[in-house]
């Protein structure tokens, strides 16, 4: 028979494991339905940032400059206002709804209209981009071309904190846009032409610049993603809390193993 102390210890371990699994499940909710691209930047070497979505949209260094650096989760890619990474296609589709996001560690100096993730171009106005609002350092708006207009409202933007990690996500759900910073909505605005899709760009999807160059970004990026649908608040919160890999559903067996590993690690500490 178990001694009283052993019984208490076993019950405590069971309780802790259950609490950890429930806590993780409260955030685990990211579906990869309609994913277009996921770039984790965990290579740490070489000149290719692989697309983990399975769609083959790998990004390759287009001009020397970016460096591998410590990211928010694992490795990241550091830009110093020179060079960028380029996919060999626009990645973006002609869609009404979409979600784009990335972790950013911005420096205190940026070029005018600098772009973090971009596939927008003109004429005609098409594609989308995380784009700084002119000279407002680290205030990021959205370039969204519907073929006729830049459809995003001028007040649709997010102010990033310099030299700190910022998780920024933009969601278009029908005629409304939502900007998230660190898991919370910070801006909600209507779009011009609410039923018009993003006009299909021909320029390649770029990380750290835009199609014509000269707008190279300054800072570190990690875990960029693009979906052809509007992610839910819970999915975005999950990505912010757990990272893209941690937010994807796993089996109860794997989750229990992960929680047990965490518990053993804590006991060693």
8 Å CB contact between 226 and 97: no
Query: Of 130, 152, 140, nearest to 198 (Cα)?
Result: 152
Confidence band of 23 (pLDDT split at 50, 70, 90): very low
Asked if residue 87 has pLDDT above 90, the reply is yes
Confidence band of 3 (pLDDT split at 50, 70, 90): low
- Looking at residue 194, its pLDDT comes to 92
- Looking at residue 1, its pLDDT comes to 54
Enclosing H/E stretch for 249: none
- Average pLDDT rounded to a whole number, residues 217-242: 98
What is the spatial distance between Cα 171 and Cα 173, in angstroms, rounded to a whole number? 6
Confidence band of 239 (pLDDT split at 50, 70, 90): very high
What percent of the chain has pLDDT above 90?
80
Strongest mean pLDDT among 7-11, 56-60, 245-249: 56-60
- Looking at residue 29, its pLDDT comes to 80
- Average pLDDT rounded to a whole number, residues 141-159: 96
8 Å CB contact between 125 and 163: no
Enclosing H/E stretch for 43: none
3-class SS shares of the chain: helix, strand, coil, % to 5? 20, 35, 45
How many residues make up the chain in this entry? 269
Asked if residue 206 has pLDDT above 50, the reply is yes
Query: Which residues are bridge partners to 209 per DSSP?
Result: none
What is the spatial distance between Cα 191 and Cα 189, in angstroms, rounded to a whole number? 7
Confidence band of 28 (pLDDT split at 50, 70, 90): low
- Looking at residue 5, its pLDDT comes to 54
């Amino acid at each position: 028979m178990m001694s009283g102390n052993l019984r208490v210890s076993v019950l405590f371990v069971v309780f802790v494991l259950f609490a950890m699994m429930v806590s993780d499940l409260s955030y685990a909710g990211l579906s990869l339905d309609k994913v277009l691209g996921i770039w984790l930047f965990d290579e740490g070497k070489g000149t290719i940032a692989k697309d983990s979505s399975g769609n083959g949209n790998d990004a390759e260094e287009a001009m020397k400059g970016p460096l591998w650096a410590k990211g928010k989760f694992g490795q990241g890619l550091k830009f110093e206002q020179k060079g960028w990474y380029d996919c060999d296609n626009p990645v973006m589709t002609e869609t009404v709804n979409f979600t784009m996001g990335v972790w950013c560690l911005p420096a205190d100096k940026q070029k005018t209209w600098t772009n973090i993730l971009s596939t927008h171009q003109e004429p005609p106005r098409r594609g989308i981009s995380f784009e700084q609002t002119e000279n407002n350092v680290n205030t990021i708006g959205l370039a969204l071309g519907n073929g006729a207009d830049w459809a995003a409202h001028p007040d649709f933007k997010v102010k990033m904190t310099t030299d700190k990690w910022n998780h920024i996500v933009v969601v278009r759900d029908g005629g409304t846009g939502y900007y998230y910073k660190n898991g919370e909505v910070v801006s909600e605005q209507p779009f011009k032409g609410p039923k018009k899709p993003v006009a299909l760009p021909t320029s390649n999807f770029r990380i750290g610049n835009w199609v014509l160059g000269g707008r190279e970004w300054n800072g570190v990026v990690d875990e960029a993603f693009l979906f052809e649908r509007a992610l839910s608040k819970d999915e975005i919160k999950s990505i912010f809390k757990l990272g893209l890999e941690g937010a994807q559903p796993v089996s109860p067996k794997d989750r229990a193993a992960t929680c047990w590993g965490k518990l053993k690690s804590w006991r060693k500490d």
